[in-house]
């Protein structure tokens, strides 16, 4: 993978910055206002950096992301190609090991510790449903509601963290859903249909806009609680917001998901939910091929990616 500063998007820059700050702290640098050191001198000993990166995390993905962050900062500071080449080789080795791990179809240690069966997820969803009152009056009521809805939506279609960028509208006009920097859930009163329009997701440039209809049980919940969702989101029409009526960041959304599973001593992310759901489908033979094709299309990935990256045994 070549790092090109013109191609790195804002969310990736945020991730890289966080990785570099953590790396600097592990190297005992004093970071003013929480920022990693200026210049490239602190990154010149590639072997030392690589050893520190490996020592701080067992995750091959975390190691690779940190090294890509290093290569990004070397790129934007026009570092010598010889230095970048050292890091490129480390990245290549890590990517090779990651691909090997994917093809074994075995769960990682972290996945094993936090894995839930589909039946367990359904039972958790039932418990969340019981905590949602018919009349949403308090912040706690609202929080219980969005926990229930978020898990129900993810169990129906295993999205990434795309609900953070999602707005919900009842019979909107075209102007209300023109902004392509948001995803949308659109409720149509005449048909009773709840549709999803995906404009913001990781693989958008490959798959374009994604559209699909939620199943009837989800549509029923969304219609019923629409006014409550709208009230607690202020003027934003966001599907989910935090206590300050602000949009969830990706990191805060992961923490929010984790809070759903905390009573069960699990840390379940959107990615792990996708692993669980698709793994469950792949146990079910060719008769489920149509469902797998549908998931690949609406999740914005190929079936090869679906099988190689998400399905586990």
Q: Quote the CA–CA distance of 194 and 169 in Å, as a whole number.
A: 10
| pLDDT for position 106 | 75
What lies within 8 Å, CB to CB, of 300 at 6+ separation is 198, 201, 202, 203, 204, 206, 207, 210
pTM tops 0.85 = no
Q: Order of strands, edge to edge, in the sheet holding 166-170?
A: 166-170, 183-188, 193-198, 210-213
Residues 13, 36 contacting (CB under 8 angstroms): no
| pLDDT for position 34 | 64
Q: Quote the CA–CA distance of 268 and 260 in Å, as a whole number.
A: 8
**Block residue for tokens 């984790």:** 258
| pLDDT for position 1 | 45
Digit-by-digit pLDDT tens for the chain (313 residues) are 455 554 567 778 888 998 999 999 999 887 665 688 889 999 999 999 999 999 999 889 999 999 999 999 999 999 999 999 999 999 999 998 888 777 667 788 899 999 999 999 999 999 999 999 999 999 999 999 999 999 999 999 999 999 999 999 999 999 999 999 999 999 999 999 999 999 988 888 888 999 999 999 999 999 999 999 999 999 999 999 998 889 999 889 999 999 999 999 999 999 999 999 998 887 755 566 677 778 888 888 777 777 777 877 6
| pLDDT for position 251 | 86
Q: Quote the CA–CA distance of 183 and 238 in Å, as a whole number.
A: 10
Question: String of b and e for 70-107 (b: at least 16 CB within 10 Å)?
Answer: bbbbbbeeebeeebbebbbebbeebeeebeeebeeeeb
- For the chain, the distance separating the N- and C-terminal CA atoms, rounded to the nearest angstrom, is 29
Query: Which structural domains are found in the chain, ordered by start?
Result: 10-104 (no CATH), 110-310 (1.10.443.10)
| pLDDT for position 6 | 46
| pLDDT for position 8 | 66
Q: Quote the CA–CA distance of 150 and 152 in Å, as a whole number.
A: 5
Closest CA to 218 of 182, 260, 187: 187
Structure tokens at 150: 């978020």
Closest CA to 155 of 254, 240, 305, 280: 280
Structure tokens at 240: 């989910």
| pLDDT for position 142 | 97
């Amino acid at each position: 993978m070549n790092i090109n500063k013109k191609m790195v998007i804002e969310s990736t820059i945020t991730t890289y910055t966080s990785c570099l700050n953590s790396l600097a702290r592990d190297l005992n640098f004093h970071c003013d206002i929480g920022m990693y050191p200026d210049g490239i001198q602190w990154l010149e000993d590639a072997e030392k950096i690589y050893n520190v990166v490996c020592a701080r995390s067992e995750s091959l993905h975390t190691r690779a992301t940190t090294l890509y962050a290093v290569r990004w900062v070397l790129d934007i500071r026009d570092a010598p190609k010889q230095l970048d080449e050292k890091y490129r080789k480390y990245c290549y080795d890590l990517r090779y090991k990651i691909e090997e791990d994917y093809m074994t179809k075995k769960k990682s240690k972290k996945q094993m510790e936090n894995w839930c069966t589909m039946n367990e997820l359904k039972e958790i969803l039932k418990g969340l449903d019981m905590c949602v009152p018919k009349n949403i009056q308090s912040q706690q009521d609202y929080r219980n509601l969005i926990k229930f809805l978020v898990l129900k939506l993810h169990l129906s279609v295993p999205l990434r963290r795309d609900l953070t960028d999602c707005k919900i509208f009842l019979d909107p006009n075209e102007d209300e859903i023109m902004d392509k920097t948001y995803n949308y859930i659109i409720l149509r009163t005449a048909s009773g249909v709840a549709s999803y329009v995906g404009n913001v997701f990781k693989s958008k440039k490959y798959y374009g806009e994604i559209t699909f209809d939620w199943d009837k049980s989800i549509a029923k919940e969304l219609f019923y609680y629409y006014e409550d969702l709208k009230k607690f989101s202020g003027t934003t029409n966001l599907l989910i917001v935090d206590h300050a009526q602000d949009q969830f960041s990706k990191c805060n959304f992961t923490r929010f998901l984790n809070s759903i599973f905390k009573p069960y001593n699990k840390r379940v992310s959107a990615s792990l939910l996708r692993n669980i759901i698709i793994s469950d489908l792949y146990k079910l033979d060719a008769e489920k091929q149509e469902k797998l094709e549908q998931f690949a299309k609406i999740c914005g990935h190929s079936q090869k990616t679906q099988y190689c990256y998400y399905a586990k045994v």
